[in-house]
Amino acid sequence: MIKIYHNPRCKKSREALNLLESSGKDYEIIKYLEEVPSKAELRNIISCLGITPEMLVRKNEAVWKENYRGRLLSGEEIVDAMVAHPKLIERPIVIKGNQAVIGRPTERVKEILE
């Protein structure tokens, strides 16, 4: 089952969802701002993406600039920040099994669909 961590207000997230819809494959939508991923889920997502926690953070968000920018944070502290403030999580994230991509650019979602 394919999962998309989706924010309906985000253009890139809507584009990724359209790709999933047109693929004909089964998928699950997780509106991560409402259904905030747990620390364990975020760690798993980061592992599937093959990135560091910091690479999943939207650093232009005001909450990051006001509370975290310029601070030396551990990976766990960054995960804690994303759980506390899910709008910090980069989007969209599409996962299939142990494979995941951030759908920026949207064409990256096609990697999951192949």
Instruction: Judge contact between 91 and 11, C-beta under 8 A.
Output: no
Single-letter amino acid code for the residue at 19: L
Residue 48 known to be catalytic: no
CA angle 83, 14, 100 (to 5 degrees): 55
93's tokens? 């994230």
64's tokens? 């990051």
CA angle 70, 71, 77 (to 5 degrees): 135
E strands, the chain, where? 2-6, 27-31, 93-96, 99-102
Catalytic residue among 10, 48, 63, 113: 10
Q: Which residues are known to be catalytic?
A: 10
